[in-house]
Amino acid sequence: MNRTKLVWVIFIALFIIFHTYTLSFSPLPWIDDTWYASVTLSYLNTGDYFLNVAPFAYDFQELLMHGPVFYILQSKIIAFFGFGIFQFRILGLLCGLLLLFVLYKIIRSQEVPRRTQGLLVILVAFDPLMHASMHNGRMDTLAMLMAFSSLYIFIIARKRPGAKGQLLFMVLSGVLGAGALLTTLRSVVIIFPIGVLLLARLLQQRSLRELAHVFGWILPILSFTLLWILITFGNLNDGLTYFKTLPAGLSGSTMFVPYYHILLVSLAVLSVLTGVILFRGSFFSQLNIIGLLAITIHFLFIRDAGSASVYIIPFYYLFMVRIVLLVNKDLMKKVSVAAIYILLILNLGLFGMKTAVIFAGYEGRYPVTFDEFIQQNIPRSSHVIGHETFYYSVIKAESDFQYFHLYNSEEEIVSTYQRDEYDYDYLIVSEEFSDRDDVIITRLKRDSQLEKLTEYSKAKSRLDRRLSSWGINYIGSYNCVIYQRIK
């Protein structure tokens, strides 16, 4: 093994070890992963898709806005390994690692120089949002793995020898595309552009081969999607009606760009403009066309508060690399390469800062100690309400849990339900709560007799105090107060 390969092996091993070690305490349990975990447990126990952690949020109805793929896989993992924050997040991490490999294969298919291949993979791996998506318990990395695998198979299909081999690859691409869509519809930003490119080829060449490619790709998507709708809703009309009646706010344009991606998006836009002006048709490789369509669909139709844009992040970096490959003038090439290295320094800097802060607050974020605390203080089969941070620990202690502060637009109704019907036994309140939470806590204390049972408190470490003195704070710990409801 030469020195370069050895360095890569060590880097990959350290990358995997770091992610595996920090998976259970970075981030703390939050709304999205506890939301998905609750639906997964419902599917595992009853075969239904209820949000038991907040059943009032959707009028006590099943949540069917996502396909079954994520919940099926997660339920298998939990059935085999048991339930916990690490077990629930491991699927996202594994899919994220495999996604990086698929992106590497896509980059290689574009005849990118070896050094640039590695640089681009590192850029994507340490992108703040891509990095976080491997830990956050969402279904994005699973959907992206299948969507980008579909894209990769689509790209290399034409290189297969013989018409049958090409058609087989198109069918496989369609199957993977169906898997992505039946995980989450947000993957449409990648799958739809593939279909557009296939149709464009058919209209341009008007051959039986292209027609076969279109049908070979689209039929698996239509077949699996229709099968899921019929099994879930009974008929197509009821399925369409369900999606039309979903609450507002699940879709629609927000034109949101996270602050840490402003530079990346700006450089990507500049790269596209440079490519269009200087190189015209040469810039529009099939991968860049798909990327431009994906980004357009995202900003027009996907409601994003930050995490959803992870589906289009790889395309921003690919635009910049495309310019590096096309530029011949030394000065422009040096400027393009310098921009990529600036992004690399930014990504690594953000990663280093986040890592320092996470480890500084390790004592207050370590789940095993808090799990033991909950098991010692809350009896089995209790009904507990509280902040989402405590969801995993309460469920592991064989009690039930509901949010007391989220999906609470009708606060009086929810409070009455949790008091009279859910009949909660304990309230767990984080030491960090909002003014709105304070109002709800005050109402709960007014409507029921709550007695402080105990509290969990871990002092800040020396490193945490030092970082705080520099103005670097990472909010979040298991520090809390437990109240017992006297009945």
Q: Tell me which H or E stretch contains 350.
A: helix 330-360
Q: Is 349 helix (H, G, I), strand (E, B) or coil?
A: helix
Task: Give the pLDDT of residue 360.
Answer: 78
Q: List the structure tokens of 448.
A: 């029921």
Q: Where are the alpha helices (DSSP H) in 110-162?
A: 114-125, 128-133, 140-157
Task: Give the pLDDT of residue 170.
Answer: 95
DSSP state of 261: G
Backbone angles phi, psi at 69, to 5 degrees: -60, -50
Q: What is the pLDDT of residues 50-61, one digit of tens each?
A: 999 998 888 888
CA distance 300 to 298: 6
Task: Give the pLDDT of residue 463.
Answer: 62
Q: Name 76's Cβ contacts closer than 8 Å, sequence gap at least 6.
A: none
Q: List the structure tokens of 304.
A: 């994003």
Residues of the chain falling short of pLDDT 50: 248-249
Cis, peptide link before residue 113, omega less than 30° from 0: no
Task: Give the pLDDT of residue 359.
Answer: 82
Q: Are 53 and 34 in contact (CB under 8 A)?
A: yes
* HEC string for 185-251: HHHHHHHHHHHHHHHHHHHHHCCHHHHHHHHHHHHHHHHHHHHHHHHHHCCHHHHHHHHHCCCCCCC
Q: Where are the beta strands (DSSP E) in 284-425?
A: 383-386, 400-403
Q: Name 158's Cβ contacts closer than 8 Å, sequence gap at least 6.
A: 166
- The domain locations on the chain are 1-108+125-138, 365-486
Task: Give the pLDDT of residue 212.
Answer: 92
Q: List the structure tokens of 433.
A: 């709560």
